[in-house]
Amino acid sequence: MNRRDFLTTATAASAALALGGCNENNRQAIDYSKHPQPKDAQSKRVHINKNKKTIIKLATSWPAHFPIMGTGVEKFAQRVKDVSGGSLEIKLYPKNVLVPALAVFDACSSGQIDAFHSGPYYWKGKNSAFSLYSGIPFGFTAEEINSWMLYGGGLDLWREQYAKYNLHPFLGGNTNIQMGGWFRKPINSLADMQGLKMRIPGLGGEVFAKMGVNPILLPAGEIYTSLERGVIDATEWVGPALDIKMGFYKVAPYYYSGWHEPGSILELTFNKYSWSKLAFEHQSIIEVASSEMNANMTYEFHAQNIVALQKLKELDVTLLQFPQDVTNAGKKALKEVIEELSAKNKDFEHVYSSIKKHLQLSKGWSDTSLRYFLNVR
The confidence score (pLDDT) of residue 48 equals: 80
The confidence score (pLDDT) of residue 275 equals: 98
Nearest to 253 by CA among 211, 313, 337, 197: 313
Q: Check: CB of residue 67 under 8 Å from CB of residue 75.
A: no
pTM of the model: 0.85
Nearest to 102 by CA among 78, 85, 86, 119: 119
Residue 332 pLDDT exceeds 70? yes
Residue 1 pLDDT exceeds 80? no
Q: What is the mean pLDDT of residues 113-133?
A: 96
**342: phi then psi, degrees, rounded to nearest 5:** -65, -40
Distances (CA, A) of 96 to 123, 199, 212, 374: 17, 20, 33, 43
- Quickly list DSSP for 269-306: EEEHHHHHHS-HHHHHHHHHHHHHHHHHHHHHHHHHHH
Q: What is the mean pLDDT of residues 50-58?
A: 90
Hey, what amino acid is at 338? I
Distances (CA, A) of 155 to 5, 81, 89, 170, 208: 28, 26, 26, 8, 27
Write down the mean pLDDT value for the chain: 89
Q: Check: CB of residue 187 under 8 Å from CB of residue 255.
A: no
The confidence score (pLDDT) of residue 146 equals: 97
The confidence score (pLDDT) of residue 38 equals: 39
Residue 69 pLDDT exceeds 50? yes
Q: Where are the domains of the chain?
A: 181-262+308-343
Percent of the chain topping pLDDT 90: 84
Q: What is the mean pLDDT of residues 179-187?
A: 97
3-state secondary structure of 53: coil
Domain 181-262+308-343 has CATH 3.40.190.10: yes
Give pLDDT tens digits for 71-99: 999 999 999 999 999 999 999 999 999 99
Interatomic CA distance for residues 153 and 163, integer angstroms: 16
